[in-house]
């Protein structure tokens, strides 16, 4: 299985992002572009990054009625990103429509399409008391992953702790909630180190503040790659 480290580029502007990337020299890491940056800079920035040779995980977590997600995904597909996603909570039909939109809109290679099972900020308590879901977190993740497979998607975003569940279904796992040894958890509840994520079977890990907040981001990224890929 191919593995890679994806840097969560949670910056407020393109200028901030490019200032960060300038610290990497000739290294072109896999980048996650999320809502904050995409809504500020738009699709033009994504096209620009692709032209510069970066792999992109476009993390917008689409979640709407099937036809709306289909049309949105068809538009996003033209950006040529490498991975994109939807919320599994939207249901199997919505995920199928998302895949169809991606297939119809893609130019060249088809991006991987993955679902978000449960955010890494969700705990058992939040699941029960706020979302009113009586099943356990593990059972909920597994059910959403089974729906993801049924819809024909490639994998799931999940906690590294749930990667074995995803792998057992024959799906790729893309796992945020990664912290280097000694780093704080911040607003995430279910976290592991890169080495633990490798042992648990993660295909991709998404690393944010442990790299973006480091004094030497390129060194932190290289260390993370060695720990995760070996």
Q: What is the pLDDT of residue 20?
A: 98
> What is the token pair recorded at 201?
């079977």
- Mode of pairing for the β-strands spanning 155-157 and 204-207: unpaired
pTM for the model: 0.93
- Give the whole-angstrom CA distance, residue 96 versus residue 13: 33
The length of the chain is: 230
**Beta-carbon neighbour count of residue 14 at 10 Å?**
16
Catalytic residue IDs: 61
> What is the token pair recorded at 35?
């809502």
Q: What is the pLDDT of residue 161?
A: 85
Q: What is the pLDDT of residue 23?
A: 97
1-17 per-position pLDDT tens digit: 689 999 999 999 999 99
Q: Could you list the mean pLDDT of each consecutive 10-residue stretch along the chain, which spans 230 residues? A: 92 96 97 97 97 98 98 96 97 98 94 93 93 94 96 94 91 90 53 90 95 96 94
Q: What is the pLDDT of residue 121?
A: 84
- Give the whole-angstrom CA distance, residue 163 versus residue 102: 25
* Residue 46 CA neighbour count, 13 Å, CB half: 25
């Amino acid at each position: 299985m191919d593995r890679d480290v994806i840097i969560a580029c949670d910056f407020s502007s393109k200028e901030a992002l490019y200032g960060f990337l300038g610290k990497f020299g000739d290294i072109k890491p896999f980048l996650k572009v999320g809502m904050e940056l995409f809504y500020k800079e738009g699709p033009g920035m994504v096209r620009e990054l692709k032209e510069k040779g970066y792999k992109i995980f476009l993390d917008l977590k689409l979640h709407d009625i099937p036809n709306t997600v289909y049309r949105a995904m068809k538009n996003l597909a033209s950006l040529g990103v490498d991975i994109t996603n939807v919320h599994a909570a939207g249901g199997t039909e919505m995920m199928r429509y998302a895949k169809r939109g991606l297939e119809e809109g893609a130019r060249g290679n088809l991006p991987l399409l993955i679902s978000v099972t449960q955010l890494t900020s969700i705990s058992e308590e939040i699941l029960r008391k706020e979302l009113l879901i009586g099943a356990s977190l593990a059972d909920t993740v597994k059910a959403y992953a089974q729906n993801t497979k049924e819809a024909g998607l490639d994998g799931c975003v999940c906690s590294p702790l749930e990667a074995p569940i995803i792998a057992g279904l024959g799906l790729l796992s893309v796992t945020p909630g990664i912290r280097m040894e000694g780093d704080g958890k911040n607003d995430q509840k279910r976290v592991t180190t890169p080495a633990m994520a490798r042992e648990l079977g993660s295909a991709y890990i998404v690393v944010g503040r442990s790299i973006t907040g480091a004094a030497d981001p390129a060194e932190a990224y290289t260390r993370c790659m060695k720990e995760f890929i070996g």
